[in-house]
Amino acid sequence: MTAIGSATDVDRLGTVLGVWAHPDDEAYLSGGLMALARDRGARVVCVTATRGELGTEHPDVWPPDRLAAARTYELAHCLAILGVHEHHWLGHADGRCSAVPTAQAVARLCDVIACVRPDTVLTFGPDGITGHPDHRTVSAWTTAAFEQAAPPGARLLYATFAERRAARWAPLNERLGIFPPGLPVLTPERLLAVDVELDAGTADRKVRALAAQRTQTAELMAFVGLERFTAWVGDESFVDAAASGVAATA
């Protein structure tokens, strides 16, 4: 399969449904694709499992209720920048997705898929990108729901990192401590279904969308620097689940 690698190729995604665990997952992993798809008139729908109420290193400043409210507002702002106006919360507790009955979670996503009838579903791979248990669980739910409810011809794409990025960004990734040993999973270019290097305008828009989620990104962007941060998030890559040979597990 020829990888999607340009704005024109994005047309091949059709209607896009993204299913993610926390606010900001969608922007980091697919913000550019969402913006490009919307600019070309495609329907884009985003689903978020939790409000990310535990996502802080400053719990004294951001207790769960306050952070959930802030991240709800931030995600709405982020999606507006990307041009995405259809969003669904699943309402699960941050860090507790694995405690949700699988059949219940999958049935909810089957309903969303049946309503949206996406051509392309985007989510985490079984590794969860960072290994976060919520990410891995959402991957498993989405995979099961896709298998049960996706329309004929639809594709399920797992977020991944292009192998070509490893050498450039490994030192920064290690310094930030985002990935545990063995992650991120790196995918050779020949296996990528989507391999987009964002143009300058789209990259800037993605960064503005991420900056809107300031409780999660303000300190990081200040630490890394705007130019380097923009380059760091300037690629988006996905592998076709059907060709990945890996089963999702919660």
The percent helix, strand, coil of the chain (3-state, each to 5) is 50, 20, 30
Find the range with the poorest average confidence among 19-23, 181-185, 221-225.
181-185
Q: Using alpha carbons, list the distances in angstroms from residue 226 to 83, 110, 234.
A: 22, 39, 12
- Whole-prediction pTM: 0.95
Q: What angle do CA 181, 20, 25 make, to 5 degrees?
A: 60
Cα–Cα distance, 72 to 64 (Å, whole number): 12
pLDDT for residue 9:
86
pLDDT reported for residue 4: 77
State whether residue 65 is helix, strand or coil.
helix
CA–CA separation, 240 vs 250, rounded Å?
A: 19
Angstrom distance (rounded) from CA 175 to CA 74: 26
> Lowest mean pLDDT: which of 156-160, 199-203, 245-249?
245-249
Residue type, 200: A
Whats the size of the chain, residue-wise?
250
Alpha-carbon distances, residue 214 vs 77, 121, 192 (angstroms): 11, 27, 31
**Which tokens in the block code for residue 221?**
């962007």
Q: Helix (H) and strand (E) counts for the chain?
A: 10, 8
Q: What is the pLDDT of residues 199-230, one digit of tens each?
A: 999 999 999 999 999 999 999 999 999 999 99
AA identity, residue 136: R
What six digits make up the tokens of 51?
A: 């409000």
Res. 144: pLDDT tops 70: yes
Extract the tokens encoding 32. Answer: 């550019």
User: What's the confidence (pLDDT) of residue 2?
Assistant: 59
